[in-house]
Amino acid sequence: MQTSAFAAPSSAEPLAPWTFERRAVGPHDVQIKITHCGVCHSDIHATTGDWGANNYPFVPGHEIVGVVSRVGAHVTRYKVGDVAAIGCIVDSCRACEPCAEGEEQLCEKGMTGTYSGIEKETGRPTYGGYSKAIVVNENYVLSVPKALDPSRAAPLLCAGITTYSPLRHWKVGPGQKVGVVGLGGLGHMGVKFAKALGAHVVVFTTSPGKVQAALDLGAHEVVVSSDPAQMKAHKNSFHFILNTVSAPLDLDPYAQLLRRNGVMTLVGAPGEPHTGPNVFTLLMGRRSIAGSPIGGIAETQEMLDFCAEHGIAADIELIPIQAINEAWRRVEKGDIRYRFVIDMSTLAEA
């Protein structure tokens, strides 16, 4: 099927209209007409080469919501007209231990990314959601609960699951003090989830202008991280810190905020390495630094259902696809509260 899209012709050029071929719908495939696609900072890292080489033309986008427009003969879980979603994973080996345990994001053979992957069926690069339609095996498709507004649900497919999964894995809950570092697309979802799970939530931001906004989102306290006195006041006190920052940082001042046995999990993924922490900061306090990539398919569905149940969704600015290059510049400047979502009805059919 000929599919229209916005693609980067190279790592150095702006996104522009492009048309490519999506694979035919196989017996286990679902075809989705995309209505909304969130704009993740990873789209920018992956396109501009921050994370290394890629295939061009490159179609970003892995926060995809749309309407099922066709299903293969053996598809059982979806029918035409359903509101469905695709996140960052479109395939995995389906046989290794992580896949068997529903942790496809940790597939030992490497998951197939919604972009930056190679499609097993065709051997061609995978193309993401800044496009009119997508074809994916039904096991990697999510169901969007009716209670969720599709535009505000789109960012849940990456920003949502990437913050929900570590909060659940490290068992964040009542009686715990939890830090969220960086108040962007991921960070604002981290605040909503940590609060819904019953934790005492403290936001760390470099932007004094976001202090009131963080409190409005539900944070109990806000620290402007450039102020050493504010940082010092929280030393040795956090059970868990979720670090969403998209740029290299000195991790030591954040590690010092952890209490005994505390964990800081990195989900931000800058192309350049962080510095720190000082080894003695980790030894004294038996503190840990960990990392976490997105989440598995079953857990993504659990997160969507959790959002419907708790009235949680992303705070977004809806844009036409023609505004995408300007939107990326604003993401790079931190000038967005908190996620751009592309209204895909503004993209013409191929």
- Would you tell me which residues interact with ligand NAP (CB under 6 A)? 40-42, 45, 158-159, 162, 182-187, 205-207, 210, 244-247, 249, 267-270, 293-294, 331, 334
Q: Out of Zn ion, ligand NAP, none, which partner does residue 301 contact, by CB within 5 to 8 A per kind?
A: none
d(CA 63, CA 36): 8
How, if at all, do strands 339-343 and 316-320 pair?
parallel
Cis amide leading into 277 (omega within 30): yes
| Six-digit token string for 31 | 């075809």
Q: Out of Zn ion, ligand NAP, none, which partner does residue 84 contact, by CB within 5 to 8 A per kind?
A: none
CB of 213 to ligand NAP, least distance (A): 9
d(CA 173, CA 198): 5
| Six-digit token string for 224 | 């402007």
| Six-digit token string for 329 | 């510049």
CB of 31 to ligand NAP, least distance (A): 25
Indicate whether 96 belongs to the interface with Zn ion (CB under 5 A). Answer: yes
By CB under 5 A, the residues from 101 to 120 that bind Zn ion are 107
> Is the CB of 102 or the CB of 276 nearer to Zn ion?
102
Do 173 and 58 meet the contact criterion of CB atoms below 8 Å apart? no
> Is the CB of 184 or the CB of 277 nearer to ligand NAP?
184
Q: Residue type at 19?
A: T
Do 125 and 118 meet the contact criterion of CB atoms below 8 Å apart? yes
Q: Out of Zn ion, ligand NAP, none, which partner does residue 210 contact, by CB within 5 to 8 A per kind?
A: ligand NAP
Residue of this chain nearest to ligand NAP (CB atom): 184
**Residue of 3, 69, 92, 301 that binds Zn ion (CB under 5 A):** 92
CB of 155 to ligand NAP, least distance (A): 9
> Is the CB of 75 or the CB of 264 nearer to ligand NAP?
264
d(CA 257, CA 317): 33
How, if at all, do strands 177-181 and 238-243 pair?
parallel
For residue 127, with 0-12 CB atoms within 10 Å meaning exposed, 13-18 middle and 19 or more buried, which class applies?
Answer: buried
Which listed range, 39-47, 141-149, 216-224, 283-291, lies at the site for Zn ion (CB under 5 A)? 39-47
Q: Out of ligand NAP, Zn ion, none, which partner does residue 96 contact, by CB within 5 to 8 A per kind?
A: Zn ion
> Is the CB of 93 or the CB of 215 nearer to Zn ion?
93
CB of 223 to ligand NAP, least distance (A): 10
> Is the CB of 128 or the CB of 187 nearer to ligand NAP?
187
Closest CA to 159 of 310, 339, 336: 339
Indicate whether 223 belongs to the interface with Zn ion (CB under 5 A). Answer: no
C-alpha torsion angle, residues 27, 32, 38, 42 (rounded to 10): 30
**Residue of 30, 68, 89, 99 that binds Zn ion (CB under 5 A):** 99
Secondary structure (3-state) at 85: strand
Closest CA to 337 of 320, 316, 321, 323: 316
CB of 42 to ligand NAP, least distance (A): 4
DSSP state of 59: -
Do 256 and 235 meet the contact criterion of CB atoms below 8 Å apart? yes
Q: Out of Zn ion, ligand NAP, none, which partner does residue 93 contact, by CB within 5 to 8 A per kind?
A: Zn ion
CB of 124 to ligand NAP, least distance (A): 24
CB of 246 to Zn ion, least distance (A): 11
CB of 214 to ligand NAP, least distance (A): 8
H or E element that contains 316: strand 316-320
Residues at the interface with Zn ion (CB under 5 A): 40, 42, 92-93, 96, 99, 107, 158
